[in-house]
Amino acid sequence: MHAMVLTAPGVPLQFQERDDPVPGHDAVRIKIGACGVCRTDLHVVDGELPDIPYPIVPGHEVVGRVDVLGDGVTALKVGERVGVPWLGYTCGQCSYCRNGRENLCDRPLFTGYTRDGGFASHLVADARYCFPLGEVDNDVTIAPLLCAGLIGWRSLVMAGVGKHLGIFGFGAAGHIVAQVARWQGRSVYAFTRSGDVEAQRLAKSLGADWVGGSEQKPPVPLDAAIIYAPVGALVPLALRAVRKGGRVICAGIHMSDIPSFPYNILWEERQLLSVANLTRNDGIEFFKVAAQASIKSHTTAFPLREANEVLSKLRSGQITGAAVLQP
């Protein structure tokens, strides 16, 4: 197999040839067809997340086919197309796991962060945390749904059922969530970096009711706002944009520091919440909705060897929609 490997924080990924991995108990080996590039991959590569076990293969929006079954695997079969998400394993024993909150597990493993991920030709994954995908659509189109879609769905559920939804950061997750929200009958207000013409054009093409810069005031008070950009300075802006009793959801795993803000923009029972990871049930729910709503991701595909260049483009805001690597 071959893989793009991170050997230390902040250094370019290395293209390496490796022995083919062998799946253990409850695991499968997957031949990868596509792997989306997520902003969380940047946080891994840049060393912004703690306790990274170097060397590590990033990537957690994986689509591929099972090619070897480990002992004990009965729910999947060789040749089946599956998706591998961010959540790669949970202990099943801590209080969070026992109470249906496995996204907060005390001893989790995460694909592309604490276990090798999908910037490769093959990976080994816990079969219990793989999603059967069927044969609809192609691997490149589906790949961003494995994180941008799943985290987007969880954040949308946490935002509540209000009519007016703000989306700060209209990238991989934002453009997927906008489609779900429009299908649900909501009005979407897309906030982008000032002058990001391509993101604004994409938002308009997907039915956004209003598009503007992050510091602009929307035409109506929002029922909820979801922040996908990892920029803490957006939190006070979003709080000012939501109505009394409204919610602001911070949907990233990492964010720059939130600046101080006056209490009066939080008062009147506005809520500030965060999303942490996902559960397998989130995936089951989201893939049903994605099929019903005919969700389509806007993607640009690149060869696996160009992973470093793609990460640089993502870091500088040169990717519209989602980037996907193909081995």
CA 36 vs CA 49, 67, 104, 120: distances in Å: 19, 20, 24, 12
How much is the pLDDT for 115?
97
Say whether pLDDT at 194 is over 90. Answer: no
Q: What are the tens digits of pLDDT across the range 29-81?
A: 999 999 999 999 999 999 999 999 999 999 999 999 999 999 999 999 999 99
Round the average pLDDT of the chain to a whole number and report it. 96
Assess whether 266 and 304 both reside in one domain: no
Question: 10 Å Cβ neighbour count for 129?
Answer: 22
3-state secondary structure of 27: strand
CATH number of the structural domain spanning residue 166: 3.40.50.720
Give the contacts of 271 (CB within 8 A, at least 6 positions apart): 245, 246, 247, 248
pTM for the structure as a whole: 0.94
Q: How many domains does the chain have?
A: 2
231 and 322 share one domain: no
CATH number at residue 42: 3.90.180.10
Domain span at residue 168? 149-274
What pLDDT is attached to residue 136? 87
List pLDDT tens digits, range 266-284: 999 999 999 999 999 999 9
- What pLDDT, on the 0 to 100 scale, is given for residue 229? 94
State whether 128 and 32 are in the same domain: yes
Helix (H, G, I), strand (E, B) or coil at 30: strand
Listed in sequence order, the residues at least 6 apart from 61 whose beta carbon sits closer than 8 Å to its beta carbon are 35, 36, 37, 38, 83, 85, 118, 143, 144, 145, 146, 147, 148, 324
Task: Tell me: do 208 and 131 sit in the same domain.
Answer: no
Residues 252 and 305 placed together within one structural domain of the fold:
no
User: Is residue 282, in this structure, part of any structural domain at all?
Assistant: no
Mean pLDDT to the nearest integer, 211-235: 96
Q: For residue 11, what pLDDT band results from cuts at 50, 70 and 90?
A: very high
Say whether pLDDT at 127 is over 90. yes
Residue 288 counted as domain residue: no
Per-residue pLDDT, 195: 83
Report the DSSP beta bridge partners of residue 5.
14
**pLDDT tens-place string over residues 153-176:** 999 999 999 999 999 999 999 999
Containing H/E element for 139?
Answer: helix 139-142
- Both 89 and 53 in one domain: the answer is yes
